[in-house]
Chains A and B, each alone.
Chain A
Amino acid sequence: MNDEKRDPSVNSDRSGSGLSSPGTKPGSPLKRPDPDSIHIGPEVAIGEADVRTAEAAEVRGTSLWQDAWKRLLRNKLAVFGLIVVAIVTMTSAAGPRVIKALTGYTPELIPTHDQRLMKSLPPFTGPDGEFSWTHPMGTDNAGRDQLARVLQGGQISLLVGIIATFVSLIIGVSYGAVAGYLGGRTDNFMMRLVDVLYSLPYVIVVIVLLSMFRSQTPFGQLVLLFIAIGSVSWLTMARIVRGQVLSLKNQEFVLAARATGVSTPRIIFRHIVPNTLGPVVVYATLTIPQIMLTEAFLSFLGFGAQAPLSSWGSLTSDGIQNIAIYPWQLIFPGVTMALTLFSLNFLGDGLRDALDPQMRKV
């Protein structure tokens, strides 16, 4: 097999045969008098060449996501963000239950058995002014444990952030992908609609929505909040996805998919949308803190979570009324919220750099 001597490297093999072939002659493309020539028994030659490439593939084999993960770990701020977000998420999720088990306090519990507990206690202080682990963040005006309330507020804030982002993700991605793929007049109409919605001051829209459909139950109010925020925050997502789709739809694999008879919706959602995932993931992680901030702002104004449910916004809103006397009522929820939002932003930035290394150089 003359294949043997070409074995050392695929590269030299390529350049070699590339040089030795100044084009193919009509009538006899396979019978050039070239010792290095191609094949007489095609099956064998093909097999060997491809086994070589298969081995090479096993050696390199790092996927896009593994690569991105490595780059993310090299970014210290992003790692910091990741750790803080993980801690906040886990303590918010489990915290209130742990506190209940340890001290008997729930976020809603107003102690009536001991009148001394009805005032706001400073951190690490018991009812008689002695050092105590019972309320590491003190208590609020009604004597509720502040730590439990901050953690439960975290649950609500994170939940609003994630669910509203998810809502905006679904609406934005579908809308943008459809507009971008169909193009022409449809695209024009759909995107002008987005422009119109963009020009509305969206906090006011949310406030109007929330006050029009004011719900009786605290939970209903929360659901309204999800819908209201989600329904106005998909606009940027739609624009990003549309831009991506515009550049993707002219690629050959889309044409190939159409040539195999795949229907339009299937092409959009099975073939094109997964390819926009990188920028979408990045933008979504940056949307979460943005939405949490909006939620805090709305709760601060009294449109968000209603007592006894709390969110970081409503806690700071309560705290600011007593800032001169009981500063810890503002400081703890405020600092927790700021730290979480910082971390989420760092994480989002880190993800963007990790998933799109070209963009960073620009």
Chain B
Amino acid sequence: MSSTNGNLLEIRELRTYFEMEGETVKAVDGISFQLKRGETLGIVGESGSGKSVTNLSIIRLIPRPPGRIVSGEIIFDGQDLLSLPESEVRKIRGRRIAMIFQDPMTSLNPFMKISRQLMEMTQLHLGYSANQAYEHAIKMLETVGIPDARARVDDYPHEFSGGMRQRVMIAMALSCQPELLIADEPTTALDVTIQAQILELIKQLKQDSGTSVILITHDLGVVAGMTDHLLVMYAGKVFEQASTSELFASPGNPYTKGLLRSVPDPLDEKQELYQIPGLPPDVAHLPPGCPFASRCERAEQICLEEYPPFVELTADHHSLCHFAGEVYAES
């Protein structure tokens, strides 16, 4: 790949704003990150921190109006997706970048047979004939572990359980062998046993096909065993960025620390669950200083007044905080 130096996806200073009743909501505000081929990137953050908007921006599916990608570059395999015409982006969607959504109950069309929904992908992108596409659909269902796939391929979505529907979604997403799979909270709507199965499935399919994965979640437990790199988002900004093991071992940001502390420990029954005080800020009215300052335990005057720098802790570990170095040293 020409100028991509091994990066499948590179995002530079992405800003996606929404115009709501005369106010500008900065849902994603200056995000940059890279993803190498075959790697898994986790994006964690609270609701409304801009995780999903980032990923909808990647495949240019921000509803407009009110949304708008204001600036930035999204370089996928050497091409800036933001400068491509819509028809070219459409060829990439599903073919090279596929998405899995949060709620498998609503992300399948209730009026279309599973077979037709699966066939649509390959007929559209790979030019398969109806027969080829049908056989491929069955093969994909088998791959994602749906028993008796041939008999079930002509069922409607309501005849499947939630976990199986998510499997169907994964089958759909992977049926054109995409280079990048974006999973937007793929397990949030499922119960815990099924969650583990689905994650295991994604992990295994990823290994088999070498697909890069972006896994969006607000569950740190999900991310821990799955990802190579982590991105912690807050109020539309990247707060911390590091390899997964590094971030869990020595976080360099008070917010990340707070997140890690608020995960319950099943071995310690008496411990009271920690909780970060307050609520995420309104991204339409951000204070001039650090957006987390009002909730931060170690905030000082400077945090309220000055926007924090993006500190490089190690070559592969960055944190948005005035005291990044100290927090990192402490942990």
Contact = CB atoms under 8 A, between A and B. Distances in A.
A, B from the same assembly: yes
Interface of A: 13-14, 17-18, 21-30, 32-33, 38-39, 42-43, 45-47, 49-51, 53-54, 57, 61, 63, 184, 251-253, 255-263, 270-271, 274-275, 277
A45 B198 CA distance: 12
Nearest 9 interchain pairs by C-beta: A24-B221, A260-B94, A261-B93, A261-B94, A252-B107, A259-B99, A26-B224, A252-B106, A274-B111
A30 B93 contact: no
Contacts of A26: 220-221, 223-224, 248, 260, 263
Given A14-B191, A26-B220, A54-B147, A253 B59 contact: no
A186 to B, nearest CB: 12
B3 interface: no
7 contacts: A39-B197, A46-B145, A46-B197, A50-B147, A50-B163, A184-B65, A259-B61
Contacts of B91: 261
B108 interface: yes
B98 A260 contact: yes
A298 B15 CA distance: 61
Given A29-B224, A39-B196, A54-B148, A253 B93 contact: no
Contacts of B99: 256, 259-260
Interface string B178-209: 00000000000001110011011100000000
A184 B66 CA distance: 10
Contacts of A23: 221, 263-264, 266
A25 B106 contact: no
Nearest to B151: A54
B205 to A, nearest CB: 12
A53 B159 CA distance: 9
Contacts, number: 147
Contacts of A14: 191, 193
A33 B265 CA distance: 12
B74 interface: no
A259 B59 contact: yes
Contact of B101 (A24, A255, A271): A255
Interface of B: 59, 61, 65, 90-95, 98-99, 101-103, 106-112, 120-121, 124-125, 145-148, 152, 155-156, 159-161, 163-164, 169, 172-173, 191-193, 196-197, 199-201, 219-225, 248, 260, 263-266
Given A252-B107, A277-B111, 11 more contacts: A13-B193, A14-B193, A38-B192, A50-B163, A50-B164, A53-B160, A253-B106, A253-B107, A257-B109, A259-B61, A260-B121
B109 to A, nearest CB: 5
B59 A47 contact: no
A57 B193 CA distance: 20
Nearest to A14: B191
Contacts of B224: 26-29
A257 B90 CA distance: 11
A90 to B, nearest CB: 32
A275 B109 contact: yes
B266 A47 contact: no
Nearest to A258: B61
A274 B110 CA distance: 9
B41 to A, nearest CB: 17
B159 A57 contact: yes
A27 B225 contact: yes
Contacts of A51: 147-148
Contacts of A275: 109-111
B42 to A, nearest CB: 11
A288 B56 CA distance: 44
A261 B125 CA distance: 8
A207 B269 CA distance: 82
Nearest to B173: A260
B266 A22 contact: yes
Contact of B94 (A28, A53, A259): A259
A255 B147 contact: no
Contact of B120 (A18, A49, A260): A260
Contact of A258 (B93, B112, B161, B173): B93
A256 B101 contact: yes
A94 to B, nearest CB: 36
Contacts of A57: 155, 159-160
Contact of B93 (A49, A260, A277): A260
Contacts of A28: 224-225
B193 A24 contact: no
Contacts of B109: 253, 257, 271, 275
A54 B220 CA distance: 32
Contacts of A33: 266
Given A53-B164, A261-B125, A274-B111, A18 B106 contact: no
Nearest to B108: A253
A95 B95 CA distance: 58
A282 B47 CA distance: 41
A227 B133 CA distance: 41
